[in-house]
Chain A
Amino acid sequence: MCCQYILLLLLLGVSGGVSAVEVQRPRGVPLSKRQFYEEDKPFTCLDGSRNIPFDRVNDDYCDCQDGSDEPGTAACPNGSFHCTNAGFRPGFIPSSRINDGICDCCDTTDEYNSGAACQNTCRELGRKERESLQKMAEIAKEGFLLKQQLIQEAKRGLEDKKAKYADVQLSKNEFEKRVEALRTVKETAEQPEKEAKERHLKAWEGKLGCESISPSTVCTEHYITDSIVSLINIFLARLSCLDATYNSTAQKARDAFDEAERALREVDDQIKNLEKEISFDFGPTAEFAYLYSQCYELTSSEYIYRLCPFNRVSQKPKYGGSETNLGTWGQWAGPEDNPYSIMKYEHGTGCWQGPNRSTTIKLTCGKETVLTSTSEPSRCEYLMEFTSPAVCQEPSSLDSVLHEHEEL
């Protein structure tokens, strides 16, 4: 209860032989706050609420509301303890983890009085972290290069699309003209037919028969009778009469017109798709454009998962069975500072007594574009991880990252 002041240098010397420049300060105090803990002066709680004699710092009794008098003991419920973690990254832990029998600081300094057998793992952790950071940095570097290509490709692609868009717009005019021209042809060709039809209708209203407008003798057999059955027959007959009156010129004109119209619709669709693609949010530099109209699969023990970015996510049982929609493209859903780190797919197939299925895709930087993991943390809410070079950020000099972590 009374080990309030120690020489960290000594401790480090004994426990690990890690060479580090160390300064005398009360246990649990970070270097940055050392100046507030001066041995020969009363201590002022860091929130300024109280002055206490210095021997009450780390005396295992909480005197300051803010916990600042007990940086090295568990006495204050809101305190925090600074681990130097020489060889790794320094950090704070809640003071409730001091001497709780569980090793939290890799330099073992949190368990100075619990009997817990902690090993100093800082060097090992530091090495591993450096390795992984290095690896990540390499991936980021390569990924970032790939990303540049993707951006270029996207740019080219966009230009192509814009050019195509212009072309198609032009051709659309042609198609429109053609449609109009054919419409006139059609209407002209249809005129005699139309007249015949009108005559026929009038006759129908008068006689409920069709013989007067048709040379066909088939129709003449059908006169109105009282029975319902024959009424139905008459209707059928009327249809066949009309068919019979189609004349082939009109039909040809119609076909040509329909054909032209269909072609125009196709062009319209093409334009719409192009507009969509051109205006689509493929990231700040369109780096995600390459994912458009691609699909990526991942096979688990039971299912094959399929992600078609900006379109849909689905799941299919490995050994037969129908596909389930896990959501269609919703929006980018990352945090404000990084909106392009998460994709959200929504309104998939409904669950029994539950919501419609939805999927969150977490994107991380990778050299390759791969669906790496899938899980269902909540019923019908899927979570997948997806790597892509498009997510890679410019590696802010690897060296600086590593140095940051060496600091005490």
Chain B
Amino acid sequence: MAPVLVLWLAVCLSVTWAVDRGNFKTCDQSAFCKRQRALKPAESPYRALLETMELTNTRLTLQLINDNNKVRLLLELYRLQGNMTRVKINELKPLKPRYEVPDVLIREPPTEPLSLLSQDENGVVLSLGAESQRVIVSARPFRLDIMEGRDVLMSLNSRGLLAFEHLRMQEEEKVEDGMWEETFKSHSDSKPNGPSAVSLDFSLPGVEHVYGIPEHADTLRLKTTDNGDPYRLYNLDVFQYELYNPMALYGAVPVMLAHNAQRTTGIFWLNAAETWVDISSNTAGKTVFGKMLDYVQGSSETPQTDVRWISESGIIDVFIMLGPTPNDVFSQYASLTGTQSFPPLAAVGYHQCRWNYNDQEDVTSVDAGFDEHDIPYDYIWLDIEHTDGKRYFTWDPHKFATPKEMLQGLMDKKRKMVAIVDPHIKVDSNYKIHNEIRSRGFYIKNKDGGDYEGWCWPGSAGYPDFTRADMREWWASMFAYDQYEGSMENLYTWNDMNEPSVFNGPEVTMHKDAVHGAWEHRDVHNLYGFYVQMATAEGLIQRSGGVERPFVLTRAFFAGSQRYGAVWTGDNAAEWEHLKISIPMCLSLGLVGISFCGADVGGFFKSPSTELLVRWYQTGAYQPFFRAHAHLDTPRREPWLFGPENTALIREAVRQRYALLPYWYQQFYHAHRTGQPIMRPLWVEYPQDPATFALDDEFLIGRDLLVHPVTEEGARGVTAYLPGKGEVWFDVQTFQKHNGAQNLYIPVTMSSIPVFQRGGSIIPKKIRVRRASSCMMHDPYTLYVALNPQRTAEGKLYIDDGHTFNYEKKEFIHRRLSFTNNILSSVNLAPDAQFTTQSWIERIVILGASKPSTVTLKTADGKESQLEFDFDASMSVLTLRKPGMNAGVDWNVMLQ
């Protein structure tokens, strides 16, 4: 009987806690996906009409004809600066305009000249800039091949899956099911424009690893989709999402990276409609032995990955980023959609959230709890219950009667608050925000022209049309201190439910036939959350007169969302598997530009075991966005509620985060400047080492820190792969040196967070951890110089005021620190920038050093002084005592 009972319980529990898959469409239940996926690779019906070719300096245009229905398409091909190719395909003469995604590209991408190399009746060959790169346009059937030298880098429509459902009158052609109307559960989609899907295939010869297209709760390396559904991109509020599957989640970034040991490339499919991505591979499923057998027998075909994108509406607008290095792809993508916004330093600290801190007293006592237990934090968060009846921009009159008093209390401690502002607006004629939106006609309309209404937290709610610039401008103005009553400069914003979440809508979101001006919701769906965060961030900037950097967290996102703030991985659960998946989920986001990523520490649903909570803090402390959050129904879990031992473990994890803030901040600055991810997979830095290609239980922060968090219950040890042949890594706690290119077993206890510093790097820390980041502003630095086998090291130091846009006016310090020939020196990387700091260098720790006889500090004014030092021979650690020079000036330290 007992096993049966257990089984029964297990079934019940899994039913209780798993996603209700029936609420969300499979490809088969999404008419266009089913229709498109039914097309199998074959000879394409499309033919290029070479006689229509027009080549100007910057673009080539060419008509394509579908021989089955004679509908003509217009192909535009651009060579973009920075080694990118843009391919645009639209109907030549659509019945009405088709949606082209605005506002995501930061500018019209600058082009480079294209030139014709050869032409005959079969096609044309164009030169792509100076590097022996060509694009071959084949006419019959139409396909594109991008070559470098003799290698094909990527082929388009090589499998003949280009499909373009032209707009038509309903009576025009044979009507298939789901073309003009579609139902899902009780919801009907009226589809007044009929079928409008677009699809295209890409072949990637030599590629076995593809990444990106977040957001999915899946491994870093994308899987082939032959035996299941494609990866889906459709922003959805998925209740209790499941792990390791291709279901859509809250955000969508239609960018895929392809990588092999020689090259990294990227595909950016700029389309905001529901999108599905199929991946297949000719090597998938083959074992290593099978591959070797192929090789020995000489029968091996080149490995190849084939990708196919399918979107419900809009046009085909693809940016092909040709690398060749991972960093090249990052800067190519950043040149299109921008880089990670540079957050205020405080936002890089620790965030304490809960649904909900009940009232002002609760906030005060949690704040005091952090001081009592000597745990730093920067932001305390308020979820929906802080409002007056889920009317955003208001406060519950009983529980939060004097918000300014509360905010001032936090400000006195140099701390901040985030309050939630969701985009669903309560339909209530006594609510100012609703009345204004309604009277200005800013709500999204339903298919019959009335204001669209859906059910969400406040009950019946309207959804402002954030695709309208005038609406966004008005929304931004609502954050002004005189509009948002009770707000102060230390109050920041959280945009949740912006998929948008509509409790009674199809798939818990908006009806696709809802209307945004000239467009259907179908066309713009995946952009909605992007716009909400854009308008909110703009509001926070404007309220300070353009001086202060905003901080806005969003749940839904799209390509370009990195420009507006942070994202988190939504409503996860207090389970070990959810802790593990936080790594690949944030790595995938980082690869497509969104660096400021984190998962709810502790898990949102359910209650974590103490061990899981501690491990989650230890992991979260080394992820870019570090926030604990919990569901309303879970018991309290502030860090001090689990006994002094666990409080100490959590305190230590948070303190490690704060000590490393100078390094983190520098990474954010770097990401903001370059688009490189902060939290990055190992292959990004070791692109030629196949052992790194699928790793997603460890990661790098910047180039120099490798983190392998403990994510197993009851772990006694972890095995970390330390990359880099001929390189060394130093354990940041013990300073023990390990060789690169090995799997290292590390015994762990509950206090262990396996973190390694790369030999050859210099990392600045502030080890005087205080109660909030801004209290540490003027504190001195300790430099950790980890020598490589060549006895050199290099690092950077970035300092600014931590919260304003003045860095754009060159008010910052940026220095290169380098160790070579036994001299450690600090050189100005930005001589035209100006900023002064009170911070000084209090200690220099050189790892892998030998014992000098004297150490001499030389400052810019020519003064020399001898430094005292300690040498630990057992670990080869040299500690220089109190050199004392200002962090913003030139100096060098010579070891003799």
A residues bordering B, Cβ < 8 Å?
Answer: 1, 59-61, 74-75, 77, 94, 96-97, 100-102, 301, 351-355, 375-381
Interface contact A301-B770, CB-CB below 8 Å: no
Per CB-CB distance, the 9 closest pairs between chain A and chain B, nearest first, are: A100-B775, A61-B882, A378-B636, A354-B633, A378-B635, A96-B770, A379-B633, A301-B398, A100-B770
B residues near A75, Cβ cutoff 8 Å: 768, 842
Interface contact A379-B358, CB-CB below 8 Å: no
Interface contact B414-A381, CB-CB below 8 Å: no
The answer, among B361, B655, B770, B882, for a CB contact under 8 Å with A97, is B770
B residues near A77, Cβ cutoff 8 Å: 655, 767-769
Interface contact B358-A102, CB-CB below 8 Å: no
The answer, among B358, B374, B413, for a CB contact under 8 Å with A376, is B358
A142 to B779, CA, bound (A): 52
Question: Which of the four size classes fits the interface of chain B?
Answer: 20 to 34
A94 to B770, CA, bound (A): 9
- In the complex, what residue of chain A is closest to B775 when comparing beta carbons? A100
A247 to B71, CA, bound (A): 103
Interface contact B633-A61, CB-CB below 8 Å: no
0/1 per residue, B780-823, Cβ < 8 Å to A?
00000000000000000000000000000000000000000000
Majority DSSP secondary structure for residues of B touching A: loop
A381 to B770, CA, bound (A): 33
Instruction: Provide a sorted-by-A list of 22 A–B residue pairs whose CB atoms are within 8 angstroms.
Output: A61-B842, A61-B882, A74-B779, A75-B842, A94-B374, A96-B374, A96-B768, A96-B775, A100-B414, A100-B770, A100-B776, A101-B775, A102-B771, A102-B775, A301-B398, A353-B16, A354-B634, A355-B635, A375-B361, A375-B362, A379-B632, A379-B635
Interface contact B398-A102, CB-CB below 8 Å: no
Cβ of B868 to closest chain A Cβ, rounded Å: 10
- In chain B between 624 and 651, which residues have their CB closer than 8 angstroms to a CB of chain A? 632-636
A378 to B398, CA, bound (A): 18
A116 to B632, CA, bound (A): 39
- In the complex, what residue of chain A is closest to B356 when comparing beta carbons? A379
0/1 per residue, B96-130, Cβ < 8 Å to A?
00000000000000000000000000000000000
The answer, among A1, A60, A102, A351, for a CB contact under 8 Å with B633, is A351
For the complex, is B412 an interface residue (Cβ under 8 Å from A)?
Answer: yes
0/1 per residue, B869-895, Cβ < 8 Å to A?
000000000000110100000000000
B residues bordering A, Cβ < 8 Å?
Answer: 16, 358-359, 361-362, 374, 398, 412-414, 632-636, 655, 767-771, 774-776, 779, 840, 842-843, 881-882, 884
A residues near B412, Cβ cutoff 8 Å: 102
A100 to B398, CA, bound (A): 34
A380 to B361, CA, bound (A): 18
Interface contact A101-B358, CB-CB below 8 Å: no
A102 to B768, CA, bound (A): 16
Majority DSSP secondary structure for residues of A touching B: loop
The answer, among B635, B779, B882, for a CB contact under 8 Å with A381, is B635
Cβ of A370 to closest chain B Cβ, rounded Å: 19
B residues near A378, Cβ cutoff 8 Å: 634-636
B residues near A94, Cβ cutoff 8 Å: 374
A241 to B840, CA, bound (A): 108
A320 to B878, CA, bound (A): 74
Cβ of B486 to closest chain A Cβ, rounded Å: 19
The answer, among B362, B633, B768, B884, for a CB contact under 8 Å with A74, is B768
Given contacts A61-B881, A101-B775, contact A377 B358 (CB under 8 A): yes
A379 to B355, CA, bound (A): 10
A351 to B634, CA, bound (A): 11
B residues near A354, Cβ cutoff 8 Å: 633-634
The answer, among A74, A102, A355, A380, for a CB contact under 8 Å with B413, is A102
- In the complex, what residue of chain A is closest to B399 when comparing beta carbons? A301
Interface contact B770-A375, CB-CB below 8 Å: no
A375 to B366, CA, bound (A): 14
The answer, among A59, A100, A352, A377, for a CB contact under 8 Å with B636, is A377
B residues near A97, Cβ cutoff 8 Å: 770-771
A residues near B843, Cβ cutoff 8 Å: 61
A375 to B633, CA, bound (A): 15
- In the complex, what residue of chain B is closest to A115 when comparing beta carbons? B778
A164 to B636, CA, bound (A): 47
A residues near B636, Cβ cutoff 8 Å: 377-378, 381
- In the complex, what residue of chain B is closest to A380 when comparing beta carbons? B633
A102 to B771, CA, bound (A): 10
Cβ of B554 to closest chain A Cβ, rounded Å: 26
B residues near A353, Cβ cutoff 8 Å: 16, 633
- In the complex, what residue of chain B is closest to A104 when comparing beta carbons? B371
A376 to B399, CA, bound (A): 12
A residues near B655, Cβ cutoff 8 Å: 77
Interface contact A375-B771, CB-CB below 8 Å: no
A101 to B775, CA, bound (A): 7
B residues near A352, Cβ cutoff 8 Å: 633
Cβ of A55 to closest chain B Cβ, rounded Å: 12
Interface contact B633-A96, CB-CB below 8 Å: no
A205 to B445, CA, bound (A): 82
Cβ of B298 to closest chain A Cβ, rounded Å: 60
- In the complex, what residue of chain B is closest to A301 when comparing beta carbons? B398
- In the complex, what residue of chain B is closest to A302 when comparing beta carbons? B398
B residues near A96, Cβ cutoff 8 Å: 374, 768-771, 775
B residues near A377, Cβ cutoff 8 Å: 358, 362, 636
A59 to B881, CA, bound (A): 12
Cβ of A311 to closest chain B Cβ, rounded Å: 25
A residues near B840, Cβ cutoff 8 Å: 1
A61 to B840, CA, bound (A): 12
A residues near B882, Cβ cutoff 8 Å: 59-61
A61 to B869, CA, bound (A): 13
A91 to B844, CA, bound (A): 34
The answer, among B374, B414, B634, B768, for a CB contact under 8 Å with A101, is B414
Q: A1-B884, A77-B655, A375-B362 are in contact. List 5 more A-B contacts (CB 8 A).
A: A96-B374, A96-B768, A96-B771, A100-B776, A101-B414
